[in-house]
Amino acid sequence: MSAAPRKLRPLRLALAGFGSAGRQFAERLLGVYGRELRARGFEPRVTGIATARHGLAVDRSGLPLRKALALVRADRGLAPLHKGAALRSTLEFVRTVPADVLFEITPLEPQT
């Protein structure tokens, strides 16, 4: 008799920043990072993405990460993926996104 599959615990992730580094992180979540998290009992789910250039998107059930990547690569906004009330700022995003972990991956400008 085979063992029942282990139930994975959801791990809700939010990304503040979705430029080159943020998109590479997302791609790895779809690949090696996601596999490693699942091996350790977690099911990663990106519940929010905030960008200066492409807007904000939140979905408490999880954003379709491949679609988010495709929209940004096509220089389109993330608005079609957003579920819920409109968010006016990244600060409002940080305060309201349903996430266990928030990754801040915004550009560093030491001069400012």
**pLDDT one-digit tens code per residue, 15-73:** 999 999 999 999 999 999 999 999 999 999 999 999 999 999 999 999 999 999 999 99
> Which pLDDT value is given to residue 6?
77
Spatial distance between the Cα atoms of 98 and 72, rounded to a whole number of angstroms: 22
CA dihedral 89, 90, 94, 95 (to 10 degrees): -20
**pLDDT one-digit tens code per residue, 94-110:** 999 999 999 999 877 76
Beta bridge partners of 13: 46, 101
